[in-house]
């Protein structure tokens, strides 16, 4: 959180330098694997835990990113006016707000039915029956809005606060500000879908101009947690020690020739972390240690919930072990329901609803929800009019993108439970009350972690860079417990 970040710099004395490097890789990483009972690790890196600016309500984040743009009026924001005006022409009033104007149809009612749930009475559609059972732990933000109706820039915006690539993402800023509670696992872990990467691929978890150690590390939910983490062939511990000692000395010489290179220090730190992770990551991802009833609660072992359920359970196990920021993705943009919203939106819900509700219940029953901030949402919402397929069959209609209104929710660490903030107009087209921008959302997430968004910055090319940028951003205090 310092404008002039500090990096461990190489000593000019070769003996001191060898001691420093060997003490990191040689002593802390490999020795911890081979002589695990010799005592605590002596690891000092930029990922060591740091104090927040003020008392934090949450100490970790699980971000359930729903790429594609979930439809607010079909999930959490019922609009009776859509029933009354169903079939009425409206596209001419949306000039400049429709991405695919040639397929724009008329006002379309939701194919789903809403009921109020919980003591808070929050309305949830019948597409999400499991989540409906935990609404008393959730704070809905119905008045989100963003700046682009196109997936790629809108995803960049929600991830990094800018419409263009190359910027640090939310998880990178959080780990830059707070470090990690577990030096044997990455501070920022990404659990992407085995079926494919989301829109914008690995750029969703890059560190941008922040030091490379703050980028997200991809973990696989099946098989080896991290590719190439372990050597293909078994080696004697003594040989492994010699090899890594040699690598450390070569790194030391290279540091002398190329001083003040944070990328090189980050690479050395990554070698240390990789060695330590060989045991820690495998243990964290071993869900066979979980009771059968817990796995069943997440929908593991049955379709269509198995894959997402595994990742939700792994997210909880990572948070338990001190990982600061865990981000889950679902392949491609499953919520992008341009066609057949009745079927495709239900498919997306069927895959994610049960595991998501299970995650909240599991965190709560383990006493972790109060200290873990759970975020759910996409990059934008959908329009209240239909989007027709090429054959104009209204039975296959979907909805186009809408940047002016969408619904995200938060739960856990410091968030007011059973609460709904903001509202949209009678059609769900525009946020109108207690509007929340993406920058406001970012500022609020940081605040719950004890970080002042105005004072979390990094000097890059002479500029004081922040997640929330130079435009206005406010903490959404109405949602704070």
Are residue 37 and residue 59 in the same domain, yes or no? no
Mean pLDDT of 347-360: 98
425-441 core/surface letters (b: 16 or more CB in 10 A; e: else): eebbbbbeebbbbbbbb
pLDDT value at 43 more than 70? no
3 state DSSP class of 3: coil
Give me the pLDDT at residue 14, please: 46
The pLDDT confidence band at residue 95, using thresholds 50, 70 and 90, is confident
Are residue 332 and residue 390 in the same domain, yes or no? yes
Question: In whole angstroms, what is the distance from residue 208 CA to residue 152 CA?
Answer: 17
pLDDT value at 28 more than 60? no
Give me the pLDDT at residue 230, please: 58
Are residue 165 and residue 311 in the same domain, yes or no? yes
Instruction: For residue 163, tell me if it sits in a domain.
Output: yes
Are residue 245 and residue 350 in the same domain, yes or no? no
The pLDDT confidence band at residue 37, using thresholds 50, 70 and 90, is very low
Are residue 461 and residue 348 in the same domain, yes or no? yes
**pLDDT tens, residue by residue, 382-411:** 999 999 998 999 889 999 999 999 999 999
Question: In whole angstroms, what is the distance from residue 288 CA to residue 295 CA?
Answer: 9
> Structure tokens of 327?
């981000």
- Counting Cα atoms < 13 Å in the Cβ hemisphere of 46 gives 27
Tell which wins on pLDDT, 17 or 197. 197
Are residue 135 and residue 30 in the same domain, yes or no? no
Contact of 370 with 347, CB cutoff 8 Å: no
Backbone angles phi, psi at 199, to 5 degrees: -55, 135
Question: What are the helix (H) ranges across 29-99?
Answer: 31-34, 80-85
Q: Mind giving me the DSSP string for 127-185?
A: T-HHHHTTGGGEEEEEEEE-S-SSHHHHHHHHHHSSSSSSSPPHHHHHHHHH--S-TTS
pLDDT value at 36 more than 50? no
Place of tokens 């993108």: 401
Instruction: For residue 291, tell me if it sits in a domain.
Output: no
Question: In whole angstroms, what is the distance from residue 287 CA to residue 128 CA?
Answer: 25
Answer with the one of 236, 251, 284 that is the final residue of a domain. Answer: 284
Instruction: Give the contacts of 378 (CB within 8 A, at least 6 positions apart).
Output: 65, 66, 67, 68, 69, 70, 158, 335, 406, 408
Give me the pLDDT at residue 273, please: 66
- List the beta bridge partners of residue 421: 141
Mean pLDDT of 455-462: 92
Give me the pLDDT at residue 92, please: 85
Tell which wins on pLDDT, 429 or 234. 429
Are residue 436 and residue 311 in the same domain, yes or no? yes
Mean pLDDT of 251-269: 67
Instruction: For residue 296, tell me if it sits in a domain.
Output: no
Are residue 261 and residue 172 in the same domain, yes or no? no
Q: Is the dihedral of CA 421, 425, 428, 430 positive or negative?
A: negative
Mean pLDDT of 352-359: 99
> Structure tokens of 142?
């119905």
**pLDDT tens, residue by residue, 208-240:** 999 988 999 999 877 666 655 556 566 676 776
Instruction: For residue 100, tell me if it sits in a domain.
Output: yes
Are residue 13 and residue 70 in the same domain, yes or no? no
Give me the pLDDT at residue 47, please: 83
Omega within 30 of 0 (cis) for the link into 422: no
Mean pLDDT across the chain = 87
Strands 325-328, 188-191: parallel, antiparallel or unpaired by DSSP? Answer: parallel
3 state DSSP class of 383: coil
Question: How many domains are contained in the chain?
Answer: 2
DSSP collapsed to 3 states, 285-339: CCHHHCCHHHHHHCCCCCCCCHHHHHHHHHHHHHHHCCCCEEEECCCECCCCCCE
Are residue 140 and residue 263 in the same domain, yes or no? no
> Structure tokens of 165?
């690539």
Instruction: For residue 294, tell me if it sits in a domain.
Output: no
**pLDDT tens, residue by residue, 161-198:** 999 999 999 999 999 999 998 888 999 999 999 988 99
Question: In whole angstroms, what is the distance from residue 149 CA to residue 330 CA?
Answer: 20
Give me the pLDDT at residue 48, please: 87
Instruction: For residue 293, tell me if it sits in a domain.
Output: no
Instruction: For residue 473, tell me if it sits in a domain.
Output: yes
Are residue 94 and residue 209 in the same domain, yes or no? yes
Sequence-distant contacts of 419-422: CB under 8 A, at least 24 apart = 419/120, 419/138, 419/139, 419/140, 419/479, 420/120, 420/122, 420/139, 420/140, 420/142, 421/139, 421/140, 421/141, 421/142, 421/143, 421/476, 421/478, 421/479, 422/141, 422/142, 422/143, 422/144
Q: What is the CATH number of the domain that holds 475?
A: 3.40.720
Give me the pLDDT at residue 282, please: 80
Show the domain range for 196.
Answer: 50-224+302-479
Instruction: For residue 289, tell me if it sits in a domain.
Output: no
Give me the pLDDT at residue 4, please: 41
Are residue 146 and residue 28 in the same domain, yes or no? no
The pLDDT confidence band at residue 332, using thresholds 50, 70 and 90, is confident
Q: What is the pTM of this model?
A: 0.84
pLDDT value at 136 more than 50? yes
Contact of 324 with 181, CB cutoff 8 Å: yes
> Structure tokens of 88?
């009425």
The pLDDT confidence band at residue 275, using thresholds 50, 70 and 90, is low
∠ Cα 149 326 378 (to 5°): 15
Question: In whole angstroms, what is the distance from residue 364 CA to residue 141 CA?
Answer: 21
Give me the pLDDT at residue 414, please: 96
DSSP structural state of residue 42: -
> Structure tokens of 306?
């198995």
What's the residue count for the chain? 481
Contact of 428 with 82, CB cutoff 8 Å: yes
């Amino acid at each position: 959180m310092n404008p002039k970040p500090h990096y461990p710099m190489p000593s000019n004395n070769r003996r001191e330098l060898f001691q420093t490097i060997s003490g990191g890789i040689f002593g802390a990483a490999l020795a911890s694997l081979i002589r695990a009972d010799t005592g605590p690790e002596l690891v000092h890196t930029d990922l060591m835990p740091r104090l927040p600016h003020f008392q934090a309500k949450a100490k970790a984040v699980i971000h359930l990113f729903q790429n594609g743009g979930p439809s607010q009026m079909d999930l959490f924001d019922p609009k009776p006016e859509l029933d009354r005006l169903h079939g009425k022409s409206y596209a001419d009033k949306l000039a400049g707000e429709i991405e695919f104007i040639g397929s724009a149809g008329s006002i379309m009612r939701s194919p789903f039915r809403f009921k109020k749930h919980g003591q808070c009475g929050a309305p949830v559609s019948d597409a999400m029956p499991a989540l409906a059972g935990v609404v008393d732990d959730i704070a809905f933000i119905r008045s989100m809005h963003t700046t682009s109706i196109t997936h790629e820039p809108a995803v960049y915006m929600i991830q990094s606060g800018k419409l263009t690539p190359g910027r640090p993402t939310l998880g990178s800023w959080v780990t830059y500000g707070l470090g990690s509670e577990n030096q044997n696992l990455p501070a920022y872990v990404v659990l992407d879908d085995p079926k494919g990467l989301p829109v914008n691929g690995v750029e969703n978890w890059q560190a941008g101009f922040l030091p490379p150690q703050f980028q997200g590390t991809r973990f696989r939910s099946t098989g080896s947690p991290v590719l190439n983490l372990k050597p293909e062939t078994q080696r004697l511990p003594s040989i492994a020690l010699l090899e890594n000692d040699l690598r450390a000395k070569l790194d030391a010489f290279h540091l002398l020739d190329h001083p003040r290179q944070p990328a090189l220090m980050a690479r050395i730190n990554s070698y240390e972390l990789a060695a330590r992770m060989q045991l820690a990551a495998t243990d964290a991802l071993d869900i066979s240690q979980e009771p059968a009833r817990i796995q069943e609660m997440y929908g593991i072992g049955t379709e269509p919930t198995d894959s997402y359920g595994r990742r939700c359970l792994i997210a909880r196990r990572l948070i338990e072990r001190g990982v600061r920021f865990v981000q889950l993705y679902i392949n491609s943009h499953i919520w992008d329901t341009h066609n057949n919203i009745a079927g495709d939106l239900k498919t997306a819900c069927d895959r994610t609803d049960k595991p998501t509700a299970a995650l909240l219940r599991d965190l709560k029953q383990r006493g972790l929800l109060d200290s873990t901030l759970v975020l759910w949402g996409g990059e934008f919402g959908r329009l209240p009019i239909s989007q027709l397929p090429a054959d104009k069959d209204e039975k296959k209609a979907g909805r186009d993108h809408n940047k002016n209104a969408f619904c995200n929710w938060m739960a856990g660490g410091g968030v007011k439970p059973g609460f709904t903030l903001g509202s949209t107009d009678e059609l769900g087209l525009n946020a109108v009350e207690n509007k929340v921008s993406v920058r406001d959302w970012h500022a609020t997430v940081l605040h719950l972690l004890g970080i002042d968004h105005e004072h979390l910055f990094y000097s890059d090319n002479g500029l004081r860079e922040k997640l929330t940028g130079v435009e206005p951003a406010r903490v959404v205090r109405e949602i704070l417990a």
